Amino acid sequence: MALNWNYDATAYKANNSELLAEGKYRVRIINASETEARNGTSGLEISLEVNGHSNKLRHFIWYNYDYQARTNQLLGEFFDSFGIASEEQSNIEQWKGKTGAVHVVHDEYKGRTIAMVSFCLKREYQNGIPEWSDKPSSIQTNARTVEDFKSPINQSGAFGRFPF
């Protein structure tokens, strides 16, 4: 079967992606969904856009069956960071468009360095981070994202490689 997509090779632009520097960033939720790791662990996958950059990040919060206090801590920090009220917490569609702040770190994945969310910053620690602006920044970079990247939080709640 032949592809009938009307491909225009002149419209192709090489991806000159630059790695988002480690640090604190204002972000906005563009999507959120429930997900499941390969080992069956339930979690949340939150897609974020980065203020002033063309970067996109994905943040995962995994349900820790053995240490629920850790799950509650991560959810509490997330809800606080993005100003998600208690009546909105069970409806992930209401999270879209909310702004918060995260700390980004670098990690190695499949032989390359990627930017990833380390943790959400509580509102009280967001001072000095510019508020969200829909105006494009003069600094435009592209994050190196990975399609199937999972959080470094393992089921025991400890930071490890992957929960699956």
Direct distance between the N- and C-terminal alpha carbons of the chain, in angstroms, rounded to an integer: 37
Q: 91: helix, coil or strand?
A: coil
Give Cα separations from 15 to 82, 93, 144 (angstroms). 30, 31, 10
- Residue 159, pLDDT > 90, answer no
34-52 pLDDT, tens digit each:
999 999 999 999 999 999 9
Cα–Cα nearest to 57, from 15, 107, 13 = 107
Cα–Cα nearest to 58, from 160, 122, 129, 146 = 146
Query: Which pLDDT score, from 0 to 100, does residue 155 have?
Result: 40
100-119 pLDDT, tens digit each:
999 999 999 999 999 999 99
Query: Which pLDDT score, from 0 to 100, does residue 5 have?
Result: 80
Look at 144 and 37; give whichever has higher pLDDT: 37
Sequence-ordered list of residues with C-beta below 8 angstroms from that of 117, at least 6 positions apart, any chain: 48, 57, 58, 59, 102, 103, 104
- Residue 144, pLDDT > 80, answer no
Give Cα separations from 93 to 46, 48, 98, 151 (angstroms). 11, 14, 11, 22
Query: Which pLDDT score, from 0 to 100, does residue 2 have?
Result: 64
Burial class (CB in 10 A: 0-12, 13-18, 19+), 34: exposed
Average pLDDT, the chain: 82
Strand blocks (E) in 11-142: 23-36, 42-50, 56-62, 99-109, 112-120
Domain extents in the chain? 17-164
The answer to whether 163 touches 62, Cβ cutoff 8 Å, is: yes
pTM attached to this predicted model: 0.73
